[in-house]
Amino acid sequence: MDHAGYMRAALVEAEKACALGEVPVGAVVALDGEIIGRGHNLRETLKDSSAHAELLALREAARRLGDWRLNGAILYSTLEPCPMCAGALVQFRVTKLVYGAADPKAGAIDSVIDVVRQPRFNHRVEVVAGVLEEECRHILQKFFRELREKKTVGEMAELVEGARLEIE
Active-site positions?
Answer: 54
Query: Which bin fits 47, alpha (ψ -120 to 50), beta or left (φ > 0)?
Result: left
DSSP string, the chain: --HHHHHHHHHHHHHHHHHTTS---EEEEEETTEEEEEEE--HHHHT-TT--HHHHHHHHHHHHHTSS--TT-EEEEEE---HHHHHHHHHTT-SEEEEEE--TTT-TTTTS---TT-TTSS---EEEE-TTHHHHHHHHHHHHHHHHHHHHHHHHHHHHHHHHHHH-
Q: Which amino acid is at 118?
A: Q
Nearest to 81 by CA among 100, 62, 59, 66: 100
